[in-house]
Chain A
């Protein structure tokens, strides 16, 4: 019999939906060379809540110094109508003086924080109306993100200012925050339980007015700190929004755990959005200068194809 591939599918029996706070699109850009790969942590050296939070955040958003992926987004609305978008994403991390290896070492040491600023570049390939549309995000931790948008059909380049992070990401069921990462300091975290497979974290916003949820629970794989499920609950205690990683893989070059396919389902809105990742690559040396307004109008094909 052939060796089982390292491509993982989450079992269906897991709590219906489960989710990760962020991840989705950019989660795929991360990855981690995890030395202690599949060995579950022994009870004796079980990580603290703080360590779980930081490691998860690292795995979700901060691995590698940069990355790229091709993403196919399928939005299904409550009437069952579907629309697809195809985009290429580039990520660049403010290096916080440390190189990739140092970051990995910090991760393994367990007490480091990963909260640096990041930049994202998105190029839309399809639908045809969106072809050549580009989008730039400078993620900030202590203030609203900066975003720029270029619409070739109208020849308009706009800076999008003061925008809420908890709003729809390009019309999908994902929020910008799901995609670019929620500040770990915005929530209080508690470890609800530890199963054979998961750490289950409950996160409650410190400022209740800042988010539409009352709290959310994350199911984090003990083996590699990848968030497998996140469920959001409203003020009535009703679960209304679920993120599920349908499939993940290990990056061939660096061994990072990467999400290949993830679904966000919103019961209030109806329908869901599925993201599928291809051509995921890390540490491609994408220059910071590319994440500027001038490249919105001048497509950097070199990093996109």
Chain B
């Protein structure tokens, strides 16, 4: 049966010629991680990964896959292999074990109370 798609019909002499020759590892190239800056002044955000053969082409290919539909003023790519991360088992290193309120604004909520107490103390006793 001939294809309904004229594009495919034009390929037809060739279309059935290919048997399944498996792709080789890395035939679709190495991966990069892509970051976009949506507006000036913002933080770059990780938006996904990309297959590209080299750094220069990673930028060119990332542009259309990651910045064609959403706002973007700058694009970063990094080879995935260059990224380091903490292990999930190490997640607890981010959890403080002791009271760290001394470095939080909420750690300093009682100054007004102290002033009030002081003023109470200064007031002369009721005549």
Indicate, yes or no, whether A interacts with B.
no
Chain B interface (Cβ < 8 Å from any Cβ of A): none
Interface residues of A (CB under 8 A from B): none
